[in-house]
Structure 1
Amino acid sequence: MNKKRMTVLLPVLTLLAGALAGCGGNDSANEAQSTSPAASTSNAGAAPSGAPVTLTVEVFDRGIQGQPDLNNNTWTRYINDNFGKQNNAIVKFVPVPRSQEIDKLNVLMAANEAPDISFTYDSATVSRYAKMNGIMPLDDLLDKYGKDLTNYLGEKVLSYGVFDGKQVAIPAKRTSLAWIGMFIRKDWLDELGMPIPTTRDELYNTLVAFRDKNPGHVDGVIPWGLAATGMNYGTGNLAESFWGEQSEEDFVTTPNWLKPGNKDALKFLNKLYNEKLISPDFALDKTAKQADADVTNGKVGFFSANWDYPLRQNISEPLKENVPDANFVPIDTFKNYEGKYKKIAYNENGVNVFIPKSSKNAELAIKYLNWMSNPDVLFFLQYGKEGVNHKMVDGIPQVINQTGDNMQTSYLNLDYTLVVNGVELGDPEKNIKALAATAPGLKAVAEQSYKINTTDTYTGFFYDTPNESNIKFGKTLGDMSNQMTDKLIVCKPSEFDSLYDKLVAEYMAAGGKAVMDENVKIYEAMQANK
């Protein structure tokens, strides 16, 4: 295995996974658990004797209305019936608020009370824990107890969890690489006799028409739905369409704030806001609940969010009920100087799973993740029992959205399936079809959105050495970026230029320059070693 630590440099974006909600009951849940073949894995054998061991596992508490007990539901009982009993263990889940996950994790780590299996999407946090010698090296444990897990993830995915030559985290495999999408009300365009916009200027004219002509005939029309920076409802790949030409070194080592054209991108957003083309109180919407309400009540004409956001049941179903004729379609509208629609895509790695140094159950933790990599286990955790939790259509499982014990509080139970982010049917084509199948009646829209948002993509550059300055300043800089963006969008146009320069200078002084200088140093060393 390649033992280089890979640290990702990504634009400051926070991606919240959507929750699945719907209707149904939890009949036959226990039957589903007992009839699954998933107990047959390489971990199978005589269960250890004596008092059962408690394995603690982090789980996100997303605060979904009507969510089940995160420690006692269809999925947790399946885990304990099929892994716990086989290993004389009790798997106990430790809820951590999704919106406070890093802060809460820091507190748990400092008190030596973090779950045996902990995780975070923030790679800088993992690097910081590794530097502090706060997490367990995993190489020997994987060699002894993680054969199936290692084979499933592969060398490339695992390499993202290496720090100073040691495997300290287990990155989940990301099976869907599309990230941000953009969507527009096609029924509004049809009402106005306007085409789908394919450039910034065309989009601007469309937004003005939405504002002035209100084709949805709603109170408080919102041409572009936005929420506070860091939430869903962002600005898509608008910034990329303004960025000018750069060398690879400049592009990957400098913060977005210094990229040529970035100032113009924010000035464009400022113009839209001051012309009442953007959600008026977006900066106060720090949960995106207001934006959700505006979309589902039919007030929004255009927005950017996860590539599949308008297809999710918590958006598509209330929108259909409130505005039956509403029709959001995916678009590509931010063309750059090359004539391309450059947009960021996910890398192959997802959430970072690690075992704190304080854990007394590291061996059992690896066995648990190894068990989870079994295809039968992953299938049940994502889709459950046929006829109860899913139905098969043309060979593709489709989730039956439910409440109560059978409810999945994250997309395909990603909070419980820690070795994978995304659909896992063992075939990329089936995975895409399964993604599209999650949107009843919108399959073609889903496939079109996925195609658009995996075209003209780039991914974050990977460094083979951790950036110590990023470990130290990364969270502070991320928070600053969010605040800077919101302030610049809402300020008076006459104040924009001076405010932009002032805020960027403060950002660089707060650690931005230190991170950039270290990026350059690492990048140049990598090039010299090629």
Structure 2
Amino acid sequence: MLAAAVCYMCTGCELSGQTGKNKPAAQDESAISIVISSLGMTFPDGMDENDNPYLSYIETKNDLDIKVTTPPPEVYEEKLDVIMSSGNLPDLLHTYDPVWFNHYAKQGSFIPLDGLIDQYGPNLKKKIKDEVWDRVRYNGKIYAIPSLNEVIGNEIMYARKDWLDRVGMKPPVTLEEYYNVIRAFTRDDPDGNGKADTVGLTLMTDMSRSAPFFGAFGTQLDSWFERDGQLVNGSIMPETRKALAFLARLYQEGLLDREFPLNLHNNLYEKVENGKVGLFSATWYDTRGPIAANMKKDPDAEWIALDYPTGIHGEKGIKNQDNIRGYNVIPVGTKHPELVIRMLDFIAGDYKNLKLGFENQIWTMENGRMVTDFAMHDKHLYRGIYQSLVDVPDPELFKERLDSLGDFHLYDNLQTIEQNLIENEFYGIPTPAMSQYDKQLGDLQEGLIQIIMGIQPLEAFDSFVEQWRQQGGDEITKEVNEWYRKQRDGERGREWDE
């Protein structure tokens, strides 16, 4: 399986310093350049995106020399635009934005990949389903290698049970019970330090981590729901106004974190770790992150998963995620596109090594069970930068991997999430109007945050709806319903071929 020249799988070699520094000089016929996201990952000392054992492993196995560029995650898509207009194009770009992909595919900026996949992509053909390929086709041709989401939902409610016990309350279920717990966690000194230094609920910028509260009203932002035979965008539904009223009440009463519009992941992490937050919408993996960090810092801290807040009509749940995570595209003019496809096919086929890390370094098998070395796992998380280019989930391996990471309830969290998803009824490629109006409609959502903060009255929601409709929303809705009609009528294939 491994090339004789470099053995990356034996104990003590691939993570002990043998990296890209030792590879042979690049040859033009084997050199490719790729632009991918760093995913916010950091590298061990002495390594970087072009010099590490996982990239060297991919290069050696495919006889390639790969030049990697990683624009900053905060401005990633903007940097891709700069690259596309520069005239100095790489051999591969990876985007997470379907609107970006849609825009440049329609401009003819990428090469079709069908023949290349047939010749060089057996693992890609085997592991990616036909209905997914349909979503990256234009005029009947494939223009991207998709990377898939391993999970289709993200948020789950968690609370500190020790705080619940201290304020004499049970785990909340109904929305009103949630309100009462959030109020107690703010005002009743749940940490027992005699100071008013806790917050009942925190969210993040762009209203991230708010999905369960919109779900209690039967809606989700930027999702599509069937109403009377037509698809309607959740951002403008009356139910969303009610959800905003609930959140605005929390903010007005000082129960919602005043800083939530500025909270990035690091801010939220610190507040949870430092015991300032006792209830929030966690990601499924936060039990291994800020929640675990809080329990390490405070031995008395005890966290439990909660039922999702349930509205007066029994609604609950969170937004489901698209099954496509990202798009690998090859610009027109690339000299050796077959090398790119070979690399991507290798990543899809060598899923276990790149996903889990090298055996006997990151993990071992003991008595038929996978055991992970946490320190090495965390140190070499950067491998995900390369593996995520073509994520092709394996459910059995996924559970085995999660269980090996320790007792963080990771798999249980995902099971809970999958049982409480509110389906987005639109799952097609972005429509032409979405590509045209996506950014300006996204900017409008700042008005929803202003309603929560009391800068604008609740009645301003009506103005938001009108602006959304006038600034492209009605056009998008028309196209989405044209797609919806085709799905109901059994028409298969790309909707916006030109």
- Normalised by the size of structure 2, how large is the TM-score? 0.85
Which 5+ residue runs of structure 2 have no aligned equivalent?
1-10, 20-25, 492-498
d(CA) in 2 for partners of 1:259, 1:365 = 44
Please identify, of 206-215 and 380-389, the stretch whose mean Cα deviation from structure 2 is larger: 380-389
Aligned to 2:476: 515
d(CA) in 2 for partners of 1:217, 1:113 = 60
Matches within 5 A, 1:447-486: 447-462=411-426, 466-481=430-445, 483-486=446-449
The structure-2 alpha-carbon separation of the partners of 1:293 and 1:52, relative to structure 1 and needing over 3 Å to count, comes to: same
**Does the CA-based 8 Å contact 2:59-2:66 persist in structure 1?**
yes
Tell me the secondary structure at the aligned position of residue 172 of structure 1.
strand
**Does the CA-based 8 Å contact 2:225-2:232 persist in structure 1?**
no
Aligned to 2:467: 506
- The one-letter code sitting in structure 2 at the alignment partner of 1:184 is A
**Does the CA-based 8 Å contact 2:175-2:311 persist in structure 1?**
no
The structure-2 alpha-carbon separation of the partners of 1:60 and 1:520, relative to structure 1 and needing over 3 Å to count, comes to: same
Q: 2:454 aligns with which of 471, 474, 491?
A: 491
Q: 1:187 aligns with which of 146, 162, 167?
A: 162
d(CA) in 2 for partners of 1:251, 1:294 = 44
Deviation at 1:227, TM superposition (A): 1.7
Tell me the secondary structure at the aligned position of residue 206 of structure 2.
coil
Deviation at 1:59, TM superposition (A): 2.6
Kindly indicate whether structure 1 or structure 2 has the higher relative contact order, using CA contacts under 8 Å at least 6 residues apart: 1
The structure-2 alpha-carbon separation of the partners of 1:464 and 1:59, relative to structure 1 and needing over 3 Å to count, comes to: closer
**Does the CA-based 8 Å contact 1:224-1:278 persist in structure 2?**
yes
Matches within 5 A, 1:350-369: 350-369=325-344
Matches within 5 A, 1:265-284: 265-284=243-262
Q: 2:351 aligns with which of 356, 365, 378?
A: 378
Aligned to 1:255: 233
The structure-2 alpha-carbon separation of the partners of 1:500 and 1:247, relative to structure 1 and needing over 3 Å to count, comes to: closer
Q: Are 2:208 and 1:208 aligned?
A: no
Matches within 5 A, 1:120-131: 120-131=95-106
- The one-letter code sitting in structure 1 at the alignment partner of 2:269 is D
Aligned to 2:495: none
- The one-letter code sitting in structure 2 at the alignment partner of 1:488 is I
Tell me the secondary structure at the aligned position of residue 61 of structure 1.
coil
Aligned to 1:118: 93
The structure-2 alpha-carbon separation of the partners of 1:230 and 1:123, relative to structure 1 and needing over 3 Å to count, comes to: farther
Tell me the secondary structure at the aligned position of residue 277 of structure 1.
coil
- The one-letter code sitting in structure 1 at the alignment partner of 2:55 is T
Deviation at 1:103, TM superposition (A): 0.7
- The one-letter code sitting in structure 1 at the alignment partner of 2:274 is N
**Does the CA-based 8 Å contact 1:203-1:333 persist in structure 2?**
no
Matches within 5 A, 1:70-469: 70-83=49-62, 85=63, 89-217=64-192, 219=195, 220-229=197-206, 231=208, 234-243=209-218, 248=226, 253-285=231-263, 287-312=264-289, 315-336=290-311, 339-374=314-349, 377-392=350-365, 395-402=368-375, 407-409=380-382, 413=384, 415-420=386-391, 424=393, 426=394, 428-438=395-405, 440-442=406-408, 445-462=409-426, 466-469=430-433
Which 5+ residue runs of structure 1 have no aligned equivalent?
1-25, 35-48
Tell me the secondary structure at the aligned position of residue 158 of structure 2.
strand
Deviation at 1:65, TM superposition (A): 5.6
Q: Are 2:30 and 1:53 aligned?
A: yes
Deviation at 1:236, TM superposition (A): 2.3
Aligned to 1:11: none
d(CA) in 2 for partners of 1:419, 1:484 = 37
Deviation at 1:325, TM superposition (A): 2.3
The structure-2 alpha-carbon separation of the partners of 1:395 and 1:303, relative to structure 1 and needing over 3 Å to count, comes to: farther
**Does the CA-based 8 Å contact 2:157-2:282 persist in structure 1?**
yes
C-alpha RMSD over aligned residues: 3.1
The structure-2 alpha-carbon separation of the partners of 1:370 and 1:132, relative to structure 1 and needing over 3 Å to count, comes to: same
Deviations 1:209-262 (A, max 9, x none): 11121211355201112221165xx21222122138997256873222222311
The structure-2 alpha-carbon separation of the partners of 1:363 and 1:335, relative to structure 1 and needing over 3 Å to count, comes to: same
d(CA) in 2 for partners of 1:139, 1:30 = 37
**Does the CA-based 8 Å contact 1:116-1:362 persist in structure 2?**
yes
d(CA) in 2 for partners of 1:433, 1:177 = 18
The structure-2 alpha-carbon separation of the partners of 1:386 and 1:466, relative to structure 1 and needing over 3 Å to count, comes to: closer
d(CA) in 2 for partners of 1:388, 1:366 = 28
d(CA) in 1 for partners of 2:225, 2:92 = 41
**Does the CA-based 8 Å contact 1:342-1:457 persist in structure 2?**
yes
- The one-letter code sitting in structure 2 at the alignment partner of 1:243 is G
Deviation at 1:334, TM superposition (A): 2.2
Deviation at 1:518, TM superposition (A): 2.1
- The one-letter code sitting in structure 1 at the alignment partner of 2:61 is N
Tell me the secondary structure at the aligned position of residue 113 of structure 1.
coil
d(CA) in 2 for partners of 1:186, 1:162 = 49
d(CA) in 1 for partners of 2:326, 2:71 = 15
Deviations 1:439-465 (A, max 9, x none): x332xx323322210113243334667
The structure-2 alpha-carbon separation of the partners of 1:27 and 1:97, relative to structure 1 and needing over 3 Å to count, comes to: farther
d(CA) in 2 for partners of 1:52, 1:448 = 48
Deviation at 1:498, TM superposition (A): 2.9
**Does the CA-based 8 Å contact 1:33-1:81 persist in structure 2?**
no
Tell me the secondary structure at the aligned position of residue 304 of structure 2.
strand
Deviations 1:422-451 (A, max 9, x none): xx5x4x24422422433x332xx3233222
- The one-letter code sitting in structure 2 at the alignment partner of 1:497 is L
Deviation at 1:121, TM superposition (A): 1.9
- The one-letter code sitting in structure 2 at the alignment partner of 1:419 is V
d(CA) in 2 for partners of 1:257, 1:454 = 22
**Does the CA-based 8 Å contact 2:36-2:385 persist in structure 1?**
no
Deviations 1:2-35 (A, max 9, x none): xxxxxxxxxxxxxxxxxxxxxxxx953267989x
- The one-letter code sitting in structure 2 at the alignment partner of 1:523 is Y
The total of aligned residue pairs comes to 469
Deviation at 1:497, TM superposition (A): 2.4
Tell me the secondary structure at the aligned position of residue 205 of structure 2.
coil
The structure-2 alpha-carbon separation of the partners of 1:281 and 1:480, relative to structure 1 and needing over 3 Å to count, comes to: same
- The one-letter code sitting in structure 1 at the alignment partner of 2:128 is L
